[in-house]
Amino acid sequence: MQRELAIIQNDPEVPAGVFGELLTEWRVPFRIVRPDLGELLPAAGDAAIVLGGAMGVHDEAAHPFLREIKGWLARLLADGTPLLGICLGGQLLAEVAGGMVSSNRCGEKGLVEVELTGAGAADPLFAGIPRCFPVFQWHNDSFTIPPGAAHLAGSRGCPGQAFRTGNAWGVQFHPEVDGAIVAAWSRKTPDAARLTGRFAAAEAGHRALARQLLANFLDAARPGGR
């Protein structure tokens, strides 16, 4: 991918993490856009990643920029722009595509085993990724798979872990986190030592997952990609 990738960061505590490091390493042009700080969303783009955030998709009164993101995602979906939504980003994408987002239905925190469906195992986003893999989760809200979308992955507690609609993918989990991000989120909980310890033991494999998934998305986002 030669053109600029837009990364939409909705929350100061939810940065691009490992994804930012990898894009810099690979010399992929990208820019961080902060709609939570009043920055304008790109009018058009070659591809975009929408990150997570502590707010929920229905919190538009407290966070008016969420309404702008939803309209922007709807336009990019219609245009066929390659998109990857992570956690809140995946939930926003799911709602725009016709799915439902609800609270406290199947929240997860920490490393969780996710399993690909048959469609997921065949999808280019998960090429080279094992059928079952542990990945970091941090959510109370969750999405249903939008009508007509491909259901790509689920976990035992939360069946909606990944979907694809057109050139857009939504995931509930956080492939982009690193140890520092996990530590910052976990210190707000009484379970911080266990959460950070488990992630530290699995971080090398988690980084490998992030590398493969991001490379797959960039390949799919290239002109002529799948």
**174 noted as active-site residue:** yes
**39 noted as active-site residue:** no
**108 noted as active-site residue:** no
Distance of CA 118 to the CA centre of its chain: 20
| Catalytic residue chosen out of the listed positions 63, 87, 95, 108 | 87
Task: Please give the order of strands across the beta sheet that includes 150-155.
Answer: 30-33, 5-8, 47-50, 83-86, 168-171, 162-165, 150-155, 101-116, 132-143
Whether the Cβ atoms of residue 44 and residue 83 lie closer than 8 Å to each other: no
Which pair of structure tokens corresponds to residue 115?
A: 């399993």
Whether the Cβ atoms of residue 171 and residue 139 lie closer than 8 Å to each other: no
| Catalytic residue chosen out of the listed positions 63, 108, 151, 176 | 176
Non-local CB neighbours of 185 within 8 Å, separated by 6+ positions: 13, 138
| Catalytic residue chosen out of the listed positions 63, 139, 151, 174 | 174
Active site residues: 87, 174, 176
